[in-house]
Amino acid sequence: MQQMSFLLKYRQSSVSHFQGQPKDLLFRLNGRPSATLGVEICEDLWVPLSPHEHQALAGATVLVNLSASNELIGKAQWRRTMVCSESGRCLAAFVYVSAGRGESSNDVVFGGHIMVAENGTILEESERLAPDPKLVVADIDLDRLAHDRRVTTTFGQGRGTSSTFRTVEAEAADPAASELQRRIDPHPFVPGDPARRAERCRDIFSMQVAGLAGKLSGAGRDRVVLGAIIVGPAHASGDEVVVGVVAKEREGVYGLPEAHALGRQMFMAVNDLPGVHLVEQTLLEVGHGRPPCVVAWGAWARDHGPRA
């Protein structure tokens, strides 16, 4: 994975809108096409057809917005949503740096908001309205961004509508990474927050049920048998169309009583189909020996599905 560490240090210097800046420049760092920067100013983020969109289509993978965005109630959350969303839409990293508290007056307050987002996720964010300069360091996965752009066909189709840009070769000191700054989630599809995890589980279950119900409705079937799986009732047209089936293995197999109890609680027709010995015999004949449980379950499902 290619990594690039971006050090963004706010020194309470003025960042203001200015006219006449070149709008057709990209900056390629150290001769690496995957490390190409596009830069825009403040209000460019807030307008339709922002410059960073054209920069991304022209090849910029890191989009930088230098801003003097004043603080208003609720504006920080909207700003955060925009930065996160734009990084996802553009399949890019988005670096946002705003003027800080030292630029404030009696009438206008600046918070020194700094954010680094990558493909829809905020990687790092500074404390707003802090009295001292802030340093934000984030690792950006440039290889991932390049891959996502290659496999996203709609992004490639939009490149034909982008403006013509000039690319300036630039050198940047890339400090040697002593450790990975970003956290790699070992369970990316299982949220740690209990509320989000429960919502994710409901979504998965609802999508599976809706898909299965649609398939059965189109096939004209009023029931389906699922081997070795316990599922809830799917109501395609008010009728229960899912039947839970569990396999009865040897004595003491954990999970069979629980499967029966779950089926009763969900008002499902639960049947035992003994026959693991037939599966074992089949696997022995092809040289598998006595199979592990996962192999037995898969073979049982293939063998008994058509019969059921």
d(Cα 69, Cα 84) in Å, to the nearest integer? 17
Q: Which residues pair with 246 in a beta bridge?
A: 272
Flag the least confident range among 15-24, 131-140, 266-275: 15-24
Res 84: pLDDT? 94
Q: How much of the chain, in percent, has pLDDT values that exceed 70?
A: 67
- The contacts found for 113-116 with CB under 8 angstroms, 24 or more apart, are 113/69, 113/76, 113/79, 114/8, 114/10, 115/79, 115/80, 115/83, 116/6, 116/8, 116/140
What is the chain's Cα-based Rg? 28
| pLDDT of 170 over the 90 cut | no
Among 86, 79, 28, which Cα is nearest to 54's?
86
**Residue 80: which pLDDT band, with cuts at 50, 70 and 90?**
very high
CB atoms within 10 A of CB 78: 11
- Average the pLDDT over 53-74 and give the result: 90
- Average pLDDT of the segment spanning 262-268: 70
* pLDDT score recorded for residue 70: 83
**Is the Cβ–Cβ distance between 15 and 67 less than 8 Å?**
yes
Q: Which positions ≥6 away from 134 have C-beta within 8 Å?
A: 9, 10, 100, 112, 114, 126, 127
The DSSP symbol for 186 reads S
Q: Which of the two residues, 270 and 97, has the higher pLDDT score?
A: 97
Has residue 221 got a pLDDT over 80?
no
| CATH code given to domain 195-274 | 3.40.50.620
Mean pLDDT (whole number) for 288-302: 58
**Torsion of Cα atoms, 231 then 232 then 236 then 241, to 10°:** 70
Q: What is the mean pLDDT of residues 197-220?
A: 86
Mean pLDDT, residues 193-217: 88
Q: What mean pLDDT value characterizes the chain?
A: 75
Q: Are 122 and 87 contacting, i.e. CB atoms less than 8 angstroms apart?
A: no
Residues in the chain: 308
- Whether the per-residue pLDDT at 13 is higher than 80: the answer is no
- Separation between Cα atoms, residue 67 and residue 223, nearest integer Å: 60
Provide mean pLDDT across the span 16-27. 64
CA distance 242 to 228: 13
Q: Is the dihedral of CA 233, 234, 238, 244 positive or negative?
A: negative
Cα end-to-end span (Å), the chain:
48
Measure the CA–CA gap between 308 and 298, rounded to whole angstroms: 15
Q: What topology is assigned to 3-170 in CATH?
A: Nitrilase/N-carbamoyl-D-aminoacid amidohydrolase (3.60.110)
Q: 80 is written with which tokens?
A: 């955060």
Confidence at residue 34, expressed as pLDDT on a 0 to 100 scale? 86
Is the separation of the CB atoms in 70 and 103 below 8 Å?
no
Could you state, in order of their start, the residue ranges of all structural domains in the chain? 3-170, 195-274
Identify the CA nearest to 68 among candidates 85, 44, 91, 50: 44
SS3 308: coil
pLDDT tens across 237-251, in order? 344 444 444 444 444
- CA–CA dist 156, 152 (Å, integer): 7
Which pLDDT belongs to residue 242?
45
